[in-house]
Amino acid sequence: MNENTSQVVKLRIWLWPGSGLERLVKKYMAQHPGVDVEIVSFQLDDVLPGLMTSLATKADTPDLVLLEASQLNQVKRFQNEFFNLYDYGDERVHYLDWKWRQAESKDGGFLFAMPVDIGPVALAYRRDLFQMAGLPVEREEVAEVLTNWEQMEQVGLEIKKKTGAYLIDNLTNVFMSYLNQFDGYYLTPMDHELDPHVKEAWDQAIRFHKLGLNAGLPSQSSAWAAAAVNGRFAVVVAPSWLHGAFKKVAPSTAGVWDLARAPGLPSNWSGTCLAVPRTSRNPHAAYELAQWLTAPAQQLDNFIGSGNFPSTPESYSTREFLEVRDAFFHDAPVGQIYSYTALRYKAAYNDFEYEGIERMIKEGLRRVESEGADPEHTWEDIVRRLKQINTGG
């Protein structure tokens, strides 16, 4: 793009709070005086309905839109409504293979979006409660005694016995982190039956509940915030993007929490990407902005500034990345801990629209922990409803 031209290129980008991209967009405009970018802020749940409306009406359309992973899967059936970013470049060498593949069509010929951040999972734990229970408190030792979910149960029972605190904050965090060890599939690709790992994840979450280890507090709620401050639960199975919630709602606990590798296999929970809708007035300029925002240097900048974890592995070996320590989490080397998981995570291609099933299961878990619903009957009801959906009944 010729920046010496007197005509200013105008772009509109849709973002939501917490992406960290607002600051980078302003930096881009400072470096590219021929580009004027309007930032429109949405709440996460409003992005997709707003996008579908704008595509249908051709009004107030974005040139770039930030989508969460499950939202991307929902729009893949509308391929004609998006530009194929392979028409403008191929930057895959800079990104984690599984994350790049997530942004493609099933046949690999269409690139819907540029990868932004990812959500590798680690274990946030309270050092004081572990110490009171006579357990190791240093992060490497904690990782060694919590290599699997069975060990986590035993640690939880010890913490409950010695301190009275619950092990976990809620069942959803356990379910999601467990399931996402196995690609995050909900239905098998061939016959669209429930994937066996979904029931495994449900059973693991329910085991914590039946053992009395679950505080039953929805993440980021006011009750969750109060419990985080008061030490009512000892661990949170935490994707990297949950850090902001800790710091926002429980700032007084800075230094009390620490980070270690999560139990089980490497897990990733969600992540984002930038897509260019077909209604964009300047798709090439939009792609150039997306490419710049998601390049390794900017992803590293966003990680240092906002904590959003890069999908660009070359960022992981930089001195700036390796030296990042988070005072809130007892000076934990957050980059090193989360990159260990990101580099070992494996995911097959998944374009299934799983949001409805995920919402149904999360609601079932909520009913179990807050309303005392019977877990077995609740699961049977979920399976019955899914069969009705699949058979059109």
DSSP letters along 345-380, please? ----------HHHHHHHHHHHHHHHHH---HHHHHH
Phi then psi for 35, rounded to 5 degrees? -125, 130
Residue 61: how many other CB atoms lie within 10 Å: 18
Tokens of 209: 């509940």
Tokens of 158: 């010890």
Report the Cα 143 to chain-centroid distance in Å.
Answer: 22
Instruction: State which H helix or E strand residue 292 sits in.
Output: helix 283-294
Q: Using CA atoms in the order 184, 177, 72, 197, what is the torsion angle rounded to 10 degrees?
A: 10
pLDDT of 1: 47
- Contact status, residue 162 vs residue 174, Cβ threshold 8 Å: no
What is d(CA 43, CA 233) in angstroms, rounded to the nearest whole number? 29
pLDDT of 373: 97
Q: Alpha helix (H) ranges present in 58-148?
A: 69-75, 97-102, 127-132, 139-145
pLDDT of 388: 80
What is d(CA 101, CA 108) in angstroms, rounded to the nearest whole number? 8
Kindly list the distances between the CA atom of residue 9 and the CA atoms of 92, 148, 274, 277, in Å, as whole numbers in the listed order: 27, 53, 19, 17
pLDDT of 103: 96
Q: What's this model's pTM, rounded to 2 decimal places? A: 0.92
Phi then psi for 255, rounded to 5 degrees? 90, -20
Rg (CA), the chain: 22
pLDDT of 191: 67
Strand 268-275 versus strand 113-126 pairing type: antiparallel
Which stretches of the chain score pLDDT less than 70?
Answer: 1-6, 184, 191, 390-393
Residue 368's beta-bridge partner residues?
none
What is d(CA 114, CA 104) in angstroms, rounded to the nearest whole number? 9
